[in-house]
Structure 1
C-alpha cells in the first residue's frame, strides 16, 4: 500500500525497542537511489568498509584514496570522535540528541552510544539521502526507556527539521539538546552559508545545549592533494569545500563556547587508550564540541 505525500509509516514500539511508536517518513513514489552516480554518504560507507555502496561510489572513492590513502582511517577516526563526544555529553547530563546528516547507519550509532550511558536518551536523526531512509530502521532500535525518530529533511533547510512532527514528538526543546553535525558541513559551500545554517539550528536550542562538529581540512596536506580530491567530488556533482581551523571555528555561533581541547584534529579530541597515534595529515579532519551559554 502506498501512502500519500506527507503520510508516515508508524513502527510499533515492539519493533524498535522503544516505549513510543516511532515514525518513519514514507514516500508515495518509489525511492530513486541514482546508483549510477556517486553519493558522498555511500563513498563514506566505502571508506568505512561498509557494503551499502555501488560501483560509481567505489570508483570515485578509489580516486580519492589514490591521493589520500588514509581516507578510511579518517572515516573511522571520525566515528570514534562521535562516540567519545556523545559519551561526554551523555555523562554531562544531556539526554536528547539531534543528528543532522546522519548518513548510512554504522554501529555504534549515536543513539547506541548515548543510551549506553543514559538508557532514556532520545535521539532524532535527519538526512535527505534516500538510501539512509531505506536503512532507517537500523537507526530506530532504541532502548526500551528511550526513543528514536527519523526526519527526512535537508540540512540546508533547518526549518524543515525543526518544524517536523517527528522532532516535536521526540525532543523537548525546552531542555538541553546535543546537536551533531559530523562530516557534513564540508559538503556545504560558502554560497549556501553554512554559518547561517548552524546558527539557525542552535538558535532553536536552549542554554546548556551542545554542538558536536567535525569538518575536513586542508591544513595538513599539500595543496595539490586537496585540489585533486575536491575535483573528484565536484566533478561528480558533489559540493566539497575543505576549511582551515579558523574557518571551522567560525562556524560555531557566538552564543556558544568551544570547550577544551578546542578545535583539534578529531583523533586528538580527548583520546582514549584505544586511539592510535596517527599524524594530523593522515586524519585531516577537525573536531570540536561547543556549549551554548
Structure 2
C-alpha cells in the first residue's frame, strides 16, 4: 500500500513538473516575457524554445545591469545568483573600457599606476566584489578549515602567492618536517608549527611583507599608527600588483608585435627613431625649403601631442581655443 502511494506521488510530482514546464514553454513560444519562476523551471529543460528563452532572459539582465544591488528572493536563490553574476559581468566589462591602462608608466612617476589601481578597486566595489584583503582572508579561512597540514594549506592557496614566495614557504615547511620527522599541522601550539612560524618571519621580511603589522591587524588592533601603516601597506601592495600586471601586459604586447612584424618591438622602435632622426637632419639641411619648414613644424606638433598624452593618458591633449 505504501509503495503504491509513493509511486502515485512520484507520478503526480512528475506530471505536475511536466505541466509547469510545458506551460512555461508555451508561454515562451507565444512571445510572452518569461518570469523568474519560468526560467527556474526551464534551466535544465532541453526544449529549444525553453533554452532560447532562458538565454534571452539572462541576456536582458546582462544588458540592463545597474550598479544598485539586486534584491535576493529566497524562493529563487539560484536565479538571483545568476542575475547578480551577470550584472557584475556587465559592470566590469563596461567599466574596463573606461579605464586607461598606463603601459608607458615611468618608475620615477608612479602616479598613473596609483590611479589605475584605484580605479580598478572602485570598479570592483561597484561590481559587488569585496576588498582584496577580505577576499584573501576568507579564502584562507575556508581552506584552513579543510586542510590537514600547512603544506596542504599552501598548496590550496598557491595562486595567492608569487612563485618565489610559495617556493620559499614550501621549502621552510620541508625543512621543519625533515628535522622533526613529522608533518607540520595547523596546530599553533605544536613545536613543529612554532619552528615553521619562526622561519616565516624571515621569509616575510625578505619579500617585503610586514608580518608583525599583519598579525596586529588580524588581532583587531585599533591603534591609529597601526591603522595608518596598514593603509600605506595596502596601497603599496596594490601598486606593486598593478605594476606586475602592466609588465605582463607589456610582455604580451611585445610578443604579439614580434609575431606579426617579424622583428622585435625594440628593433622596430629603434628603426623608427633612426628614420625620424634622418628625416629631421635632411629637413634641417634643406635650409628653409618650404617642405622642410612644414615638416619640422609637423614634428613639433607630434612631439607636443605625445607629451600631452604621456602627461595625462585618460584625457589627452587640450587645444586652446
TM-score with structure 2 setting the length: 0.22
Larger relative contact order (Cα-Cα within 8 Å, sequence gap ≥ 6)? 1
Larger helix proportion of the pair = 2
Structure number, greater radius of gyration: 2
The alignment's TM-score, normalised by the length of structure 1, stands at 0.23
